[in-house]
Amino acid sequence: MKQVSLKESEYSVKKGKIVRTKQMTEMEKLFEISLSNGEALDHEPGQFVMISVPGVGEAPISVSSSPTTKRSTFELVVRNAGMLTGSLHKLEKGDTVGIRGPFGHGFPTQILEGNDLMFIAGGLGIVPLRSLINFVIDNRRDYGKVNILLGCKTPQDMLFGDEVKQWEERLDVNFHCTVDRSDPEWKGNVGLITSLIPGVNLDSNRTFAVVVGPPIMYKFVIAELLKKKIPQRQILLSLERHMKCGVGKCGHCQVGEYYCCQDGPVFTYEQIKGKHEAL
Amino acid sequence: MGKYVILKKTDFNEFIEKLAKIKPVVAPVAKGKKSFAFAEVTTGKEVAVDYIPTILPPKKYFLPQKEKILEFNKKKQEWTPVLEYSEKIIFGVHTCDLAGIQSLNIVFTSKPKDINYIVRKDKLVIIGLECNHYCDEYASCAVMDNHLPNGGYDLFFTDLKKYFMIHVNTLAGEEIISKIKLFEEAKPINFHDLEALREEKRKIFKDEVKVGHKALKDLFEKSVNSNVWKELDKRCVSCGNCTNVCPTCYCFDVKDDINLDFNTGSRYRVWDSCQNEDFAKVAGGESFRENRGQRQLHRHMRKFNYPVEKFSRYFCTGCGRCSRTCMAGINLKETINALAEEKK
């Protein structure tokens, strides 16, 4: 077997310097990363990158920052859930990681323009959805009414607390939040995220619902959205799947004839309804 | 019709010897009873011309079981993509395996293109070999429409008893013919012999299952809730043999190995199997295919349904390897027939 070095392949990795970290909860840590030479990641909200720790491996992580926030850096929020993410959690400012991407089809920001939006985030779903929410807030006049529905297990699991507070305080954003289990300090709703949907006053013709959450959440949320008469093509879902390559080859993220990494992760409900194993 | 030449059987040894002087030659070699493998040969005597599908298909040369794709140096913060290849002539590829290689080509040359695969593929010369009769009862090449040559080779050999009829399909094939001066132009009688064999084959090779070629996609699409998968759930041992031996299974894992200096190392892609329990498990622990029946359904959908949607092509070649190798005796033809029976 002969071996040659390549200038570039689908597996080429860019150097990413960690410029800031923040422990967000016991399990989640934020990494702000800049590519070498100040190169912009140039991502769309909803896309993901493959992040590498040499010798440990690579994993797909959603980009959590909006491209409108900063051009020279981007943010990833990583839950400590396995080998790779565990070793990522040990890294600090100044350390280097490998970055491939951005990959996939993100949220169709152009198609959303001029429409009312209902963001629905369950648990870690807020991590990729934050990218779109901040994109929309930064281009606020281009969009109609903005509703944000946020759900998490307990008040302690709430990510981006300061930012969430700002969303809540904005006059041009309609914000609702619920937790599965409350604590004595909690003053908000208690219950599943589906319980927030019926109360939202919306014009179904011009509303796009953007849903991101754990796999189990989708079918219950979709049922509520359909009750609200939101058209199937206006329900956008970001699917989570196991991924190894990010370039539509390794087979792990297959959903029907789609590869989640290339054709998704964002799909319309119309695209995937009835597809075996999609929801 | 293209160019045809003939090679006398008595010249076959010399042909392989001369071929091996051009580039290393791999060909089917007997490995015990009813067991064959592609391995390097230097003379025709080593080649099993009449063989049943090898244990592993020739995909091992196109998509090696373990392949280095990247080298890294932690201290220097360097990442270098690499490509592994070797020049080879693969002799004796049956039409089912040619179809398998075509399927892999479609996947890896689709955008985003896989440069590692494409370069490696172009370093390989493919010499096909026709099956004159069924290899065994596991094959279903007729219903998959792969029992006759459909391209995908540089040269194609047909055994016509005293000689081989050879279709010269590419310039790479032509080069071999002109370098090895053992061939004669094919005459009308040779074409007659070839046509007679093909005619005979049309009588032998018939749809092996109770469903026709075109109806297979729909059969599987509608089988999602079938009891057949519940039955397979009880039998499958989740070993992954079926995917390893499949000529069109290409799923892989990506893994890092670090050297003993704890600084340098490599990233590899390694064959993976959708039959493994954690293949589709996400970080939160949810799995989209928790039980073996679901994973068997997925494997079949990836042969008979999804690729038809995506590439207008079945990814089953009918080679029969999955059935031949299954420790639990799961048999593709029986599965298809059971689904067809249930549908009635």
Tokens matching residue A16: 């990413």
CB nearest B86 (choices: A2, A54, A98): A2
In this structure, whether the domain defined by A14-103 belongs to CATH 3.40.50.720 is answered with: no
Say whether pLDDT at B284 is over 90: no
The one-letter code for the residue type at A187 is: K
- Closest approach of chain A CAs to the CA of B93, in angstroms? 21
Q: Which residues of B touch A257 (CB under 8 A)?
A: 305-307, 309-310
Chain A neighbours among B 240-259 (CB < 8 Å)?
A: 250-258
- Closest approach of chain B CAs to the CA of A156, in angstroms? 18
Q: Which residues of A touch B277 (CB under 8 A)?
A: none
- Name residue A238's beta-bridge partners: A212, A266
B323 pLDDT band (50/70/90 cuts)?
A: very high
User: Coil, helix or strand for A265?
Assistant: strand
Neighbours of B131 (CB within 10 A): 23
CB nearest B255 (choices: A57, A247, A262): A57
Contact at CB, A6 and B82, closer than 8 angstroms: yes
As for the ipTM of the complex, it is 0.93
Contact at CB, B81 and A6, closer than 8 angstroms: yes
3-state SS track over chain B = CCEEEEEEHHHHHHHHHHHHHHCCEEEEEECCCCCEEEEEECCHHHCCCCCCCCCCCCHHHHCCCEEEEEEEECCCCEEEEEEEECCEEEEEECHHHHHHHHHHHHHHHCCCCCHHHHHHHHCEEEEEECCCCCCCCCCCCCCCCCCCCCCCCCEEEEEECCEEEEEECCHHHHHHHHHCCCCEECCHHHHHHHHHHHHHHHHHCCCCCCCCCCCHHHHHHCCCCCHHHHHHHHHCCCCCHHHHHCCCCCCEEEEEEECCCCCEEEEEEEECCCCCCCCCECCCCCECCCCHHHHHHHHHHHHHCHHHHHHCCCCCCCCCHHHHHCCCCCCHHHHHHHHHHHHC
How far is B61 from B75, CA to CA, in rounded Å? 34
Residue B242's Cβ-count burial label (10 Å; 0-12, 13-18, 19+) is buried
A220 pLDDT band (50/70/90 cuts)?
A: very high
Contact at CB, A215 and B301, closer than 8 angstroms: no
Tracing tokens 């400012």 back to the chain, one arrives at A93
Tokens matching residue B238: 């989740």
**A238, A264 Cβ separation under 8 angstroms:** yes
3-state SS track over A115-147 = CEEEEEEEHHHHHHHHHHHHHHHHCHHHCCCEE
Fold of A109-238: Rossmann fold (3.40.50)
How far is B257 from B240, CA to CA, in rounded Å? 23
Which of B213, B232, B234 has its CA nearest to residue B338? B232
What is the pLDDT of chain B when averaged over all its residues?
96
Say whether pLDDT at B1 is over 70: no
- Closest approach of chain B CAs to the CA of A81, in angstroms? 6
**Residue range B41-70: average pLDDT?**
97
Tokens matching residue B154: 């540089």
B255 pLDDT band (50/70/90 cuts)?
A: very high
Domain ranges of chain B: 3-204, 216-343
Q: Which residues of A touch B284 (CB under 8 A)?
A: 81, 124, 214-215, 240
Say whether pLDDT at A188 is over 90: no
Q: What pLDDT shows up at residue B33?
A: 87
- Name residue B66's beta-bridge partners: B270
How far is A206 from A209, CA to CA, in rounded Å? 10
Tokens matching residue B318: 């009918």
Does the beta carbon of B296 lie under 8 angstroms from any beta carbon of chain A?
A: no
Say whether pLDDT at A76 is over 90: yes
Q: What pLDDT shows up at residue B209?
A: 96
Instruction: Give the angle A99-A104-A105 at the CA atoms, nearest 5°.
Output: 140
Q: How far apart are the first and last CA of chain A?
A: 44
Q: How far is CA B142 from the centre of its chain?
A: 16
B67 pLDDT band (50/70/90 cuts)?
A: very high
Say whether pLDDT at B34 is over 70: yes
Which residue does chain A place closest to B76, by CA atoms?
Answer: A96
Tracing tokens 């004796």 back to the chain, one arrives at B92
Question: In the A/B pair of chains, how many CB contacts fall below 8 A?
Answer: 148
- Name residue A89's beta-bridge partners: none
**Residue range B199-211: average pLDDT?**
96
Q: What pLDDT shows up at residue A132?
A: 98
B87 pLDDT band (50/70/90 cuts)?
A: very high
Looking at chain A, the whole-number percentage of residues with pLDDT higher than 70 is: 100
Which of B312, B213, B214, B327 has its CA nearest to residue B275? B327
pLDDT tens string A16-38: 999 999 999 999 999 999 999 88
**Cis peptide bond N-terminal to B57, omega within 30:** no
Domain ranges of chain A: 14-103, 109-238
Does the beta carbon of B185 lie under 8 angstroms from any beta carbon of chain A?
A: no
Tokens matching residue B115: 């440069």
